Amino acid sequence: MSGEPILELTGVRKGFGPVRVLHDVDFTVRAGEVTALVGDNGAGKSTLVKCVAGIHPMDAGTVRFAGEPVRVAGPRDAARLGIEIVYQDLALADNLDIVANMFLGRERGPGGLLDEAAMERAARETLASLGVRTVRSVRTPVSALSGGQRQTVAIAKAVLWDSRVVLLDEPTAALGVAQTWQVLDLVRRLADQGLGVVLISHNMADVFAVADRIAVLYLGRMAAEVATREVTQTQVVELITAGRSGELGLARPETAVV
């Protein structure tokens, strides 16, 4: 099943008021592959992810999941399909502890009650599998965690579920060297397990270390979707900054500015 498209976006348009942020973006996530989504600040990467998550309604465009057309009207729809997202701004409730955050909106327990024991166990196992060694206790409120620890919690939250697609929006931005490798390793492992993984990152070394394919957003347009082994870092950087590199990229990037 590796290489099969699991999530296909076509013609995604999104604007905030008069500002067009995404222009007819096509984007494909394949099962068993890591797709890096790169682009300059403000290119629209996070917006695209939020459209997939159902947080921002798309103005136009279609979504196919595992070949079937689907409508993602809200975060619950995304979760039901098995799409998990690690947001750039993390989206954790500071006043709740790690366990409560990891299960937020999907708490375990009979009726309207909470099964704290089951949730705490699962949370600890997931964190342990990520090799987290610096958090004192899973009952620590998130407000007491460092930036990197928060990021780990946000990632653990996405890994906890039996998901089929995981989108990580700059998951390593606040991490130290060792933790970054842990996360990249995890990203690779998830893909090897057959998940479709999207990694958004500004770090070319990270991208080239784990990604099978690279998609470049340039001012809200998809400039190129290429296999990692077919391009060099210089070419990707050119695509990011100019929208074009040799034969690759937008036909007339200068018109994209409008």
Instruction: Please give the residue ranges that form the binding site for another protein (CB under 8 A).
Output: 53, 55, 74-76, 79, 85, 87, 90-96, 100-101, 104-107, 109, 112-114, 116-117, 120-121, 124-125, 127-129, 132-139, 143-144
* Cα separation, 133 vs 241, whole angstroms: 38
125 binds, among another protein, Mg ion, ligand ATP, none (CB under 5 to 8 A by kind): another protein
Phi, psi of 195 (to 5 degrees): -80, 155
CA distance readout (Å), 32 to 10, 80, 211: 21, 20, 11
Name the one residue in this structure whose structure tokens are 């130290």: 176
CB of 143 to another protein, least distance (A): 6
39 binds, among Mg ion, another protein, ligand ATP, none (CB under 5 to 8 A by kind): ligand ATP
105 binds, among ligand ATP, Mg ion, another protein, none (CB under 5 to 8 A by kind): another protein
CB of 173 to ligand ATP, least distance (A): 9
CA end-to-end span of the chain, whole Å? 40
Applying CB under 6 A, which part among 14-22, 101-109, 228-236, 249-257 lies near ligand ATP? 14-22
Instruction: Evaluate whether 160 touches 126 at the Cβ level (below 8 Å).
Output: yes
Confirm or reject binding of residue 39 to ligand ATP (CB under 6 A): yes
CB of 163 to another protein, least distance (A): 14
**Residue 80 CB partners (closer than 8 Å, separation 6+):** none
Q: Which of residues 55-94 bind ligand ATP (CB under 6 A)?
A: 88
CB of 150 to ligand ATP, least distance (A): 17
CB of 139 to another protein, least distance (A): 4
Of the CA atoms within 13 Å of residue 138, those in its CB half-sphere come to: 21
Give the containing element (helix H, strand E) for 12: strand 5-16
Confirm or reject binding of residue 151 to ligand ATP (CB under 6 A): no
47 binds, among Mg ion, ligand ATP, another protein, none (CB under 5 to 8 A by kind): ligand ATP
Sign of CA dihedral 95, 97, 98, 100: negative
**Residue 250 CB partners (closer than 8 Å, separation 6+):** 218, 221, 223, 243, 244, 256
Residue ranges in contact with ligand ATP by CB under 6 A: 16, 19, 21, 39, 41-47, 88
